[in-house]
Chain A
Amino acid sequence: MPEETKPPLPPSPEGEAKPTAEKPAVPGGVKSTTSGSVQTDPNASTTKAEPAQPAAAKPAAPAAAAPPKPAAAGATPPAAPGAPAKPAAPPKAPVPTPVPWDSPMIAKLRGAYGSGIEPLSYLGQNYMIVDQSLIPEILQVLRNEERFDYCVDITAVHYPQREKQFEVVWVLYSFPRNERIRVKTLIKDGEAVPSSVPIWAGADWLEREVFDMFGIRFGGHPDLKRILLPEGWKGHPLRKDYGILQQDNEWVQINLGIESGQ
């Protein structure tokens, strides 16, 4: 079902139409202990999922939700979002929220940078949102004083609707302290971020991939060019405004010469 992607996504980035692929349940000759509730559900075949509206009335999901016995998730296709609350749903667990994270290290950093950093902790994972101007310096400090000597990952997340569209994330780990934190900073589209290759040599390819996928330039990077996509590729795929079906642009036509029908 080719589905034309709506250019501006609604604020809450609901995924657009997604073909609910009938996931064949292949028990593989398995003696399944969950008796009986694993057979494929004939009537819930590939329902034509309307464009996802939060309150879309989903075709009646098989209400035979077994009592809260460990029902194998199994074959019933995942319902479209916004399924009506099941009668026997357990009482809502308290929704976890980011809580401020405090530790001697934070106290020291706060002393140095005051309001520039905002340490939080979510589900036990500490991260700090750092002002864009502090970037090379605070990473340097973390690397040298706090001995976060292993840069696990550098990635980015694209929030088109915010006024600072990109959130660049550094995942750092310290061998001596066996501790992992994330450092995040918010930047506008088109702004550059100072490269952290001088701090961790491993950042080279990670930053090239972020540039390749998001278009965020890293100032001072030794060799900033695309890493996964071919040189002449136009556009950065992981941006939200880059449609998932939009892969046949002119690079494909020129180099592969296929007039793809999509």
Chain B
Amino acid sequence: MADQNTLSPLDLETHDKTFLDANELVINMGPQHPATHGVLRVILRLDGEKVLGLECVIGYLHRGVEKIGEHRTYTMFNPYVDRMDYVAAVSNGLGYCEAVEKLLNVEAPPRAQHVRVILTELNRIASHQLWLGTHALDIGAITPLFYTFRDREEILKIYEKYCGARLTTHAFRIGGLQYETYAGFEKEVKNFLNFLKPKIDEYEELLTTNRIWVERTKGIGKISAEDCIALGVTGPVLRASGVKWDLRKAQPYANYKNFDFEIPTGQHGDTYDRYLVRMVEMRQSVRIIEQAVDALPEGPIMAKVPKVMKPPVGEVYHSIEAPKGELGYFIVSDGSTQPYRMRVRPPSFVNLQALDLMCRGQLVADVIAVIGTLDIVLGEVDR
């Protein structure tokens, strides 16, 4: 799968060669390209319109989060986690807090776990909505963007009321929650769910049976289940290729085990299946939230966690199902208040690796669609 990296320099200056009779053309897309979802540079090797292969150049948004992690105490590192996948900040926070709780051998109280599930699933819906809006915009449908962002606004309002921030929410703490849920939290979440159900049908009405949408997405960016597993691709992309695997079911965390929901899978693993999988996932998240809100127990929201955390020497790998895939934290503790090694396994970074395989043989216009369907966030890819 290795493409030779000796890319022939773009030799258009020499006059005797027009850009049409050159057998292989190298084109640079990005890093400031409207459709690359952030700062990603893709070097495309083209034969006319067909993509021979591509190479991603990343690192433009690298902030060295893992190095900083080694110089912050466990609680101080919490806000950094939200800045990685800034679209799904809450699930980053959940992953990190649960990893450290496992290290400290502490369990968050049931009420905290329920609120965490509610907020994380809301975050999954918000992330999928943002994905749908921008993905449809890349393929040319302008309207879904406004619908999805109008509905996403409601979720951000709930976050703002709960923890003061809309995007990088820093809602969870190691051991539980910082804030008790505000008065009327359950009612507001319930109203939102009833508000959202017909809206998801609206998105489906606009796109699912839209002939041009189907034609632009069916059979584009196909990837088989074996390639997905070999490349380590996870999340909706893996499920769309037919692998029925979701960490919330496979290795339940934060009492997902006592909510029932299905895992959608696709058959062909193309862009259209990924679209369908994510739409069903949004509906399943609504189901989970409904059950979580109904069964919200009373009780404390914070476990017995020492103010100064000095976890015993040892290491832990804990991963959760973020909207983009498996988000893992590998924390090595040396007994001090600061982690010795803070490794983050981002889903977008590994999923982006599959872009080359998915775009082989497609046309240039489809590269945009495939980047959109991978749902990558460069903050998470570059850390």
Contacts and interface: CB of A to CB of B under 8 A. Distances in A.
A and B touch in the complex (CB under 8 A): yes
A72 B180 CA distance: 10
Contacts of A242: 67
B343 interface: yes
Contacts of B178: 72-74
A230 B308 contact: no
A220 B71 CA distance: 34
B334 A70 contact: no
A181 B229 CA distance: 16
A201 B230 contact: yes
Interface string B239-251: 0000101000011
A200 B71 contact: no
B34 interface: no
A238 B66 contact: yes
Interface in A50-101: 61, 65, 68, 70-74, 76, 78-79, 81, 83, 86, 89-90, 93, 95-98
Most-contacted residue by chain B among A27, A72, A213 (CB, 10 A): A72
B67 A244 contact: yes
Contacts, number: 196
Contacts of B73: 18, 78
A115 to B, nearest CB: 23
A237 B67 contact: yes
Interface stretch (B84-92, B270-278, B309-317): B309-317
Contact of A202 (B165, B179, B230, B302): B230
Contacts of B349: 205, 209
Contacts of B165: 28
A73 B173 contact: yes
- What does DSSP make chain A's interface, helix, strand, loop or mixed? loop
B151 interface: no
Contact of B230 (A78, A83, A200): A200
A257 to B, nearest CB: 18
Interface stretch (B57-65, B113-121, B137-145, B205-213): B57-65
A27 B251 CA distance: 33
A228 B383 CA distance: 9
Contact of A70 (B251, B300, B310, B314): B300
Contact of B180 (A30, A97, A127): A30
Given A31-B183, A153-B330, A244-B68, A23 B76 contact: yes
A45 interface: no
Interface residues of B, number: 79
A206 interface: yes
Interface string B296-335: 0000111111111010101111010000001010101011
B233 interface: yes
B336 A13 contact: yes
A33 B328 CA distance: 32
B350 interface: yes
A32 interface: yes
B229 A149 contact: yes
Contacts of A76: 307
B229 A229 contact: no
Contacts of B233: 202
A31 B352 CA distance: 43
Contacts of A251: none
A95 to B, nearest CB: 5
A84 to B, nearest CB: 10
A227 interface: yes
Given A175-B229, A227-B58, A65 B307 contact: yes
A72 B301 CA distance: 9
Contacts of B183: 31
B163 A28 contact: yes
B180 A32 contact: yes
A32 to B, nearest CB: 6
Contacts of A238: 66-67
A129 to B, nearest CB: 12
B107 interface: no
Interface in B328-383: 328, 330, 332, 334-338, 340-341, 343, 345, 349-350, 352-353, 382-383
B164 A15 contact: no
A203 B312 CA distance: 31
B350 A70 contact: no
Contacts of A65: 307
Interface in B30-52: none
A241 interface: no
Contact of B317 (A27, A70, A182): A182
Contacts of B382: 228
A78 B5 contact: no
Interface of B: 1-2, 5, 58-59, 62, 64, 66-68, 70-73, 75-76, 102-103, 105, 160-165, 173-176, 178-180, 182-183, 227, 229-233, 243, 245, 250-251, 300-308, 310, 312, 314-317, 319, 326, 328, 330, 332, 334-338, 340-341, 343, 345, 349-350, 352-353, 382-383
22 contacts: A15-B336, A23-B76, A30-B179, A31-B183, A70-B304, A73-B305, A78-B337, A83-B307, A86-B307, A89-B306, A96-B312, A97-B314, A122-B315, A149-B229, A152-B328, A153-B317, A171-B330, A201-B230, A202-B350, A204-B2, A226-B59, A230-B59
Given A30-B164, A79-B307, A247-B64, 11 more contacts: A12-B334, A15-B70, A18-B71, A72-B302, A83-B308, A97-B314, A149-B230, A150-B229, A157-B340, A158-B341, A222-B1
